[in-house]
Amino acid sequence: MPTLHWIGKEKVINHHLDVPYRVLQHSYGFNNGVQGGTETGSGNKIIHGDNLEALKALLPEYEGRIKCIYIDPPYNTGNEGWVYNDNVNDPKIKKWLGLVVGKESEDLTRHDKWLCMIYPRLKLLQKLLTDDGSLIISISHHEVFNLIQVCKELFSSKQIVCVTVQTSGGKPAGGFNYQHEYLIFIVPNDFEPNSLLFSGGNTRTPFEGLTLATFDKKQRPNQTYPVFIKVIDGSLAGVGESLQERIKKGTYSGTMEDFIYNFDEAPEGTVAVWPITSKGKDCVWRLVSNRLINDWEKGYIKISANRTKNGKNKYSIQYLPEGVIKKIEQGVLTVSGKEDGIPTLTFGENKTVGSEIPTIWIEKSFYTVNGTSVLDEIFNTKRFNYPKPLELISEIIRAISSSDDIILDSFAGSGTTAHAVLNLNKQDGGNRKFIVIEMEDYAENITAERVKRVMNGYGETEGTGGSFDFYTLGQPMFMEDGNLNELVGIDKIRQYIYYTETKRPYIAMVHTDNDYYLSTHEDTAYYFNYEADLVTNLDHAFLATIKTAAGQYVIYADNCLLTKEYLVKHNIIFKKIPRDITKF
């Protein structure tokens, strides 16, 4: 697949590895309307600081754990009059580009700069995202084409879809009236969104047509077979041999494309139904014959008299897709019973809801002016221009999240994402968590203050309740000389070491082993033998304090006084502090 090239790309393609790891410094907790110095433990976080460093700071606890990410990066419009500077000529960005890209940065175009800014951030977001997670990005026409190319490069295994959203009555520019922006959906290939309120919300039967029109009998001969339906009651009598079976047995010797669907081969008292589209074109079934029979017995197949009078098939056959079956198993979709005399499931009023996401959103509630109105109501004054509409972000999160998911926004702005998460939790009783990052100075007096007011209530709007913790970026893990920075605290250092070894979050707990024991993962026990003011040794005296049995031991210390032969014999891996501490 061709990739997008720009000046400075080679300097930023792995820049996320060079970003210093800094710990999150807790500033205060906000719990049930009261602000204090203790962490709330709610899982909701507002972080003030450069989002590149903040994203890296989240890795030890959250790598591979974030199910839903929404970001609203600068659009690169060139408009520098907003509170939220929508231009990568911002002094902070220019300084960063000078440090990372070097002298080449002087030759960068506006688009080069934007790509240099977004690329390492997307790399870190990719690390935080779960394998089945979704990333949605708001963007305008200024960078949408560049962004799609970059996303295809970074997320090649995922489905990438561009959704058009009408966001205003129009913004004249260059002879055109821009009325829309875009949402780039980066989702799994088997993505099954939740139902949206504004579209696809009509209840319908969960059964879908069994014919598969995108393949023919030559491509899927094992899915080309007749289904026999009992005339007396319209139930399943059985199935005939597939085209593949006929060729294997020698009962058909012609070419696959010349195979003719024979309706006369139905046993007495039955009629044959073949895979034919509504337009009369031969196709194949979605299921192989054994699966069809098994699904019939489970109630997952529905047979109905064909509404089309002129069609060859007298009956139509429907099935339950895997996603619907999963909803039944999870209790999301309730089965009300079975049809009389046959196993087909019925759903009563508990029908599934159409959940396909339309690629054009034209709801007036998504207009940017509505975001401004909500924020003005919260603060009783104008504090922020053009925040994202609450309803727009709510629908995005509704589509991609479950009730216990973590939602991340690394370009938090006025805090609309956190607001949307709190509202959705109140609506459906969910326990979603938000993590939002804002680098600008208004992170405290707008972003966090908005969340406080949403939790407490504002105007005539009832509060959602809830808690969050406010963080800033603290000390780096390593000093300039490569030694550990003891100012970060031993707990943060232990968390870092365990993460670099296991890519798992470290959870401190009371245990019966020695004080240097971290935890055991996949039959390997990890020890961090470290003291700020002492030189530590891996020796027989230290080994005598170990009480955890494991297949292998990884032990950090300043020195090792054991022989290599002894280490190998007892499955011990020694790592010298700080030389062997991985910098990610």
Short-list 283, 264, 291, CA closest to 224: 283
Quote the DSSP letter at residue 67. E
- Tell whether the model's pLDDT for residue 176 goes beyond 60: yes
Q: In a 3-state reduction of DSSP, which class is residue 471?
A: strand
**Angstrom distance (rounded) from CA 342 to CA 337:** 11
pLDDT at 353: 52
- Tell whether the model's pLDDT for residue 84 goes beyond 60: no
Q: Which of 285-289, 291-295, 322-326, 459-463 has the lowest mean pLDDT?
A: 322-326
pLDDT at 87: 57
- Percent of the chain at pLDDT > 90 equals 69
What is the tens place of the pLDDT at every residue in 442-484?
A: 999 999 999 999 999 998 899 999 999 999 999 999 999 999 9
Enter the tokens of residue 407. Answer: 């939602």
Q: Which of 95-109, 192-206, 319-333 has the lowest mean pLDDT?
A: 95-109
pLDDT at 252: 94
Enter the tokens of residue 364. Answer: 């007036």
The arithmetic mean of pLDDT across residues 336-362, rounded, is: 82
Beta-bridge partner residues of 69: 135, 408
Q: In a 3-state reduction of DSSP, which class is residue 214?
A: coil
Q: Give the start-end residues of each E strand in 411-570.
A: 433-438, 457-458, 461-462, 467-476, 517-521, 524-528, 537-538, 552-557, 559-560
Q: Which of 286-295, 375-384, 438-447 has the lowest mean pLDDT?
A: 375-384
pLDDT at 267: 95
**Distance, CA of 268 to chain centre:** 53
Q: What angle do CA 102, 138, 104 make, to 5 degrees?
A: 10
Fold of 9-197+356-476: Rossmann fold (3.40.50)
Confidence of residue 83 (pLDDT cuts 50, 70, 90): very low
pLDDT at 352: 54
What is the tens place of the pLDDT at every residue in 123-146?
A: 999 999 999 999 999 999 989 999
The arithmetic mean of pLDDT across residues 285-289, rounded, is: 95
pLDDT at 198: 72
- Tell whether the model's pLDDT for residue 326 goes beyond 80: yes
Q: Where are the domains of the chain?
A: 9-197+356-476, 203-353, 487-576
Cβ neighbours of 515 (radius 10 Å)? 10
pLDDT at 171: 77
What is the tens place of the pLDDT at every residue in 9-66?
A: 888 888 888 899 999 999 999 998 899 989 999 999 999 999 999 999 999 999 999 9
Confidence of residue 351 (pLDDT cuts 50, 70, 90): low
Q: Say if CB 362 and CB 392 are below 8 A apart.
A: no
Looking at every residue in the chain, the average pLDDT score rounds to 90
Q: Say if CB 584 and CB 500 are below 8 A apart.
A: yes
pLDDT at 354: 53
Place of tokens 């319209």: 234
**Angstrom distance (rounded) from CA 257 to CA 570:** 66
The interaxial angle of helices 449-456 and 368-379, nearest 10 deg, is 80
- Tell whether the model's pLDDT for residue 230 goes beyond 50: yes
The arithmetic mean of pLDDT across residues 248-255, rounded, is: 93
- Tell whether the model's pLDDT for residue 333 goes beyond 90: no
Phi, psi of 316 (to 5 degrees): -110, 145
**Angstrom distance (rounded) from CA 81 to CA 104:** 27
**Angstrom distance (rounded) from CA 407 to CA 417:** 8
- Tell whether the model's pLDDT for residue 94 goes beyond 60: yes
Mention every residue, 6+ apart, whose C-beta is less than 8 A from residue 381.
none
pLDDT at 428: 85
- Tell whether the model's pLDDT for residue 2 goes beyond 70: no
**Angstrom distance (rounded) from CA 105 to CA 112:** 9
What is the tens place of the pLDDT at every residue in 496-531?
A: 999 999 999 998 888 889 999 999 999 999 999 999
Enter the tokens of residue 320. Answer: 């339950």
What is the tens place of the pLDDT at every residue in 538-575?
A: 999 999 999 999 999 999 999 999 999 999 999 999 99
- Tell whether the model's pLDDT for residue 347 goes beyond 90: no
Sign of the CA dihedral with 45 first, then 365, 361, and 325 last: positive
Cα Dmax for the chain: 92
Q: Say if CB 212 and CB 286 are below 8 A apart.
A: yes
Q: How many residues does the chain have?
A: 584
pLDDT at 29: 97
